[in-house]
Chains A and B, each alone.
Chain A
Amino acid sequence: MNRPADASTATAGVLGSPGKGGAPWRPGRDVLLRLASLVVFLLLWQLVAVVAQDPTVPMPAVVFERIGAEVASMDLPHHLGVTLFRVAISFAAAMLIGAAIGIAMGRWPALDRFLDGWLVLGLNIPALVTIILCYIWFGLNDWAAILAVALNKIPTVVVTVREGARAIDPRLMEVARAYRLPPARKFLQVYLPQLYPYLFAAARAGLSLIWKIVLVVELLGRSEGIGFQLNVFFQFFDIAGILAYTLVFAAVVLLVEALAMRPMERRLNRWRQ
Chain B
Amino acid sequence: MLSVHVREKHYADRGGKRHVALRDLRLSAAEGEFVCLVGPSGCGKSTLLNIIGGLDAAAEASVGLDAGAPGASVGFMFQEPRLMPWLTVMQNVCLVCGERPEAATMARQLLEAMELGEVVDAFPGALSGGMQRRVALARAFVIEPRLLLMDEPFVSLDAPTAGRLRSMLITLWQRRRATVLFVTHDLREALALADRVCFLSSSPGRIVLEHRIELPRPRDPQSTEIGTMYEELLSRHPGLLAGLGGDAQDAA
Measured CB to CB, the residues of A under 8 A from B are 171-172, 174-175, 177-181, 185, 189-190, 193, 196, 268, 270-272
Nearest chain A CB to B242's CB is how many angstroms away?
A: 29
Nearest chain B CB to A146's CB is how many angstroms away?
A: 33
- Say yes or no: A180-B71 contact (C-beta < 8 A), given A175-B78, A270-B123: yes
Nearest chain A CB to B120's CB is how many angstroms away?
A: 14
B1-9, B13-21, B80-88, B180-188 - interface stretch: B80-88
- Mask, B76-100, CB within 8 Å of A = 1, is 1010101011110001000110100
A196 / chain B contacts, CB cutoff of 8 Å? 86
Other than A178-B149, A185-B95, give 12 A-B pairs with Cβ distance below 8 A: A172-B82, A172-B84, A174-B82, A175-B78, A178-B53, A178-B76, A179-B139, A189-B95, A190-B84, A190-B95, A193-B84, A271-B123
Measured between alpha carbons, how far is A36 from B125 in the docked complex, in Å? 37
Closest to A179 in B: B96
Closest to A268 in B: B86
**Contact of A171 with B80 in the complex, beta carbons under 8 Å:** yes
24 intermolecular pairs with C-beta atoms under 8 Å apart: A172-B84, A174-B55, A174-B78, A175-B78, A175-B82, A175-B84, A177-B54, A178-B76, A179-B74, A179-B75, A179-B95, A179-B139, A180-B72, A180-B74, A189-B87, A189-B95, A190-B95, A193-B86, A196-B86, A271-B85, A271-B86, A271-B123, A271-B125, A272-B125
B74 / chain A contacts, CB cutoff of 8 Å? 178-180
Measured between alpha carbons, how far is A209 from B75 in the docked complex, in Å? 47
Nearest chain A CB to B73's CB is how many angstroms away?
A: 9
- The answer to whether the Cβ of B143 comes within 8 Å of any Cβ in the partner chain is yes
Measured between alpha carbons, how far is A23 from B108 in the docked complex, in Å? 36
Measured between alpha carbons, how far is A272 from B126 in the docked complex, in Å? 9
Closest to B79 in A: A171
Interface residues on B, range: 20 to 34
Measured between alpha carbons, how far is A180 from B97 in the docked complex, in Å? 10
Nearest chain A CB to B137's CB is how many angstroms away?
A: 14
Nearest chain A CB to B3's CB is how many angstroms away?
A: 20
- Mask, B107-127, CB within 8 Å of A = 1, is 000000000000000011100
Nearest chain B CB to A182's CB is how many angstroms away?
A: 8
Q: How many A-B residue pairs have CB under 8 A?
A: 53
**Contact of B95 with A181 in the complex, beta carbons under 8 Å:** yes
- Say yes or no: A178-B54 contact (C-beta < 8 A), given A171-B82, A185-B95: yes
**Contact of A181 with B96 in the complex, beta carbons under 8 Å:** yes
Measured between alpha carbons, how far is A272 from B55 in the docked complex, in Å? 29
Measured between alpha carbons, how far is A77 from B223 in the docked complex, in Å? 81
Measured between alpha carbons, how far is A268 from B53 in the docked complex, in Å? 32
**Contact of A179 with B143 in the complex, beta carbons under 8 Å:** yes
- Mask, B149-189, CB within 8 Å of A = 1, is 10000000000000000000000000000000000000000
Closest to B124 in A: A271
Best-buried of A174, A178, A181, A190 by chain B (most CB within 10 Å): A178
B87 / chain A contacts, CB cutoff of 8 Å? 189, 271
Closest to B123 in A: A271
Nearest chain A CB to B89's CB is how many angstroms away?
A: 11
**Contact of A171 with B143 in the complex, beta carbons under 8 Å:** no
B124 / chain A contacts, CB cutoff of 8 Å? 271
A171 / chain B contacts, CB cutoff of 8 Å? 78, 80, 82
Top-3 shortest CB links A-B: A178-B76, A271-B123, A179-B96
Closest to B88 in A: A271
Closest to B140 in A: A179
B98 / chain A contacts, CB cutoff of 8 Å? 185
- Say yes or no: A177-B55 contact (C-beta < 8 A), given A171-B78, A270-B123: yes
User: Which of A179, A268, A272 is close to B76, meaning CB atoms less than 8 Å apart?
Assistant: A179
Measured between alpha carbons, how far is A136 from B156 in the docked complex, in Å? 66
Closest to A194 in B: B86
Nearest chain A CB to B55's CB is how many angstroms away?
A: 6
**Contact of A178 with B86 in the complex, beta carbons under 8 Å:** no
A193 / chain B contacts, CB cutoff of 8 Å? 84, 86
Nearest chain B CB to A266's CB is how many angstroms away?
A: 13
Measured between alpha carbons, how far is A181 from B76 in the docked complex, in Å? 13
Nearest chain A CB to B84's CB is how many angstroms away?
A: 6
Nearest chain B CB to A199's CB is how many angstroms away?
A: 13
Nearest chain B CB to A175's CB is how many angstroms away?
A: 5
B84 / chain A contacts, CB cutoff of 8 Å? 172, 175, 189-190, 193
B96 / chain A contacts, CB cutoff of 8 Å? 179, 181
Best-buried of A175, A180, A189, A272 by chain B (most CB within 10 Å): A175
Nearest chain B CB to A23's CB is how many angstroms away?
A: 20
Nearest chain A CB to B178's CB is how many angstroms away?
A: 14
Best-buried of B74, B85, B125 by chain A (most CB within 10 Å): B85
B53 / chain A contacts, CB cutoff of 8 Å? 178
Nearest chain B CB to A137's CB is how many angstroms away?
A: 43
